[in-house]
Amino acid sequence: MTEEQQTEKINWYDKNYKLLLLIPLALLLSSFIYLGIFYFQTGDFIKKDVSLTGGTTITIFSEQEINLQNLEQSLSEKLDDFSIREISDFRTGKQEAVIIEIPLEDTSSEEYDQLISSLEEYLNYKLIRGENFDVVSTGSSLSNDFYKQLIYAIILSFSFMAIVVFFIFGGQMKIKLLSIFLTLIPIILFFSRAISVNTAIITNLIALLINITLYIRYSIPSVAVVLSAFADITMTLAFVNFLGLKLSSAGIIAFLMLIGYSVDTDIMLTTRLLKRKESEINKRLLNAFKTGMTMTISSIVAVGVALIFTYSFSEVLRQIFTILLIGLVFDLLNTWITNASILKWYLEKQ
């Protein structure tokens, strides 16, 4: 690219960077609408598997390969709600086991016996627990408590991330200390068992909203970073639901990891633009763009390769890498349009 072409692109960006904000804004609003519709239809913001809803997991170990499509078609005549997946050997790709998940907690019920009979009829041999199949049941109350604790872990992680960002780029020290105090109160009450996990989630969300109000008043750059991370998570969640993925505890953990992935380039960009004064805004932005794109694309390639190698033999790793890959793609959009445009707008006003 010649210097003249680079100047033309910079001039175009200077004229249109505010309009570019409409792209992530439209995607964020669409994600909110989709998640709202999804919530009213299902009663939750995600599709949960047995580990989060409670139910029974049946693992079949067979020397002969089981055709998943035929098995699914056979079971669909007798069951309304179930899922099937396989575990394969990493090196050979040979099928090691087939996992069937059903929202049934009682393994002594007639429905469970009918399922086992149907499986034996399809497989044409008897299933003996501990030899060629295994069963694990999870109670709905236990799974629900575990799910709430995972959600609280995400809220805590996001809150602490926001505090760190505000501590780096915020203004007055007393406002920073107030922000920390507001976040720590519900955490201390929860771990001292003075409040339940439901109350802790609500109070932490209230504290987070108050903190964001403080950020808007005292540190627009902090708002840009937090907004970009929030948009990454929201857009990824909406897209995951659109794909029809049933999230397990591993999927929730992937969203925890995504918070860290979301803010690294944002913090680098904000530091380059705010802390360094040796050149004009566009030059600092361009240098940060080159570094940040290298960081994110390297992560996308690494996660993509890991997803390809683990896709057929590990449901847990496949779900984690899928969510991370989707989130990293959205992170490119939110870092270099949302965060960059807000920061440029803020610095030009300054």
Whether 172 contacts 274, CB under 8 Å: no
* CATH, residue 209: 1.20.1640.10
Domain boundary among 105, 138, 171: 138
Residues 197, 234 within the same domain: yes
Is the C-alpha dihedral spanning 69, 75, 81, 87 positive or negative?
negative
The alpha carbons of the chain give a radius of gyration, in whole angstroms, of 24
Residues 295, 345 within the same domain: yes
- Write down the residue that tokens 């970073």 correspond to: 225
Is the C-alpha dihedral spanning 179, 273, 230, 256 positive or negative?
negative
The H-or-E segment that residue 207 falls in is helix 197-218
Residues 36, 60 within the same domain: no
Residues 164, 225 within the same domain: yes
Residues 100, 227 within the same domain: no
Whether 244 contacts 251, CB under 8 Å: no
Token representation of residue 307: 């997803």
| Cα 208 from chain centre | 19
* CATH, residue 128: 3.30.70.330
> CA 111, CA 28: separation in Å to the nearest integer?
43
Domain boundary among 98, 113, 138: 138
DSSP 294-312: HHHHHHHHHHHHHHHHHTT
pLDDT of the chain, 350 residues: tens digit per residue: 566 666 666 677 778 778 888 999 999 999 999 999 988 888 888 887 776 777 778 788 876 777 777 777 777 777 666 777 777 766 666 777 777 777 776 666 677 777 778 777 777 778 777 777 787 776 666 567 777 888 888 888 888 888 888 888 877 788 888 888 888 888 888 888 788 888 888 888 888 888 888 888 888 888 888 889 899 999 999 999 898 888 888 888 888 888 888 888 888 888 888 876 666 778 888 888 888 889 889 999 999 998 888 776 677 788 889 999 999 999 999 998 888 888 888 888 87
Domain boundary among 86, 108, 138: 138
Residues 185, 287 within the same domain: yes
Domain hosting residue 145, numbered range: 3-49+141-349
Per residue in 233-247, pLDDT (tens digit) is: 999 999 998 988 888
Whether 74 contacts 118, CB under 8 Å: yes
> CA 15, CA 328: separation in Å to the nearest integer?
27
> CA 179, CA 24: separation in Å to the nearest integer?
28
Sheet holding 133-138, edge to edge: 83-88, 95-102, 55-60, 133-138
Tally the domains of the chain: 2
The backbone torsions φ and ψ at residue 88, rounded to the nearest 5 degrees and listed phi first, read -120, 155
Q: Quote the pTM value.
A: 0.82
Residues 326, 246 within the same domain: yes
Residues 64, 181 within the same domain: no
Whether 100 contacts 18, CB under 8 Å: no
**Burial class (CB within 10 angstroms; exposed 0-12, middle 13-18, buried 19+) of 349:** exposed
pLDDT for the residue numbered 330? 93
Residues 283, 153 within the same domain: yes
> CA 228, CA 24: separation in Å to the nearest integer?
9
Amino acid occupying residue 109: S
- Residues paired with residue 222 on neighbouring β-strands, in sequence order: none
Whether 331 contacts 265, CB under 8 Å: yes
Residues 96, 244 within the same domain: no
Residues 160, 66 within the same domain: no
Residues 216, 67 within the same domain: no
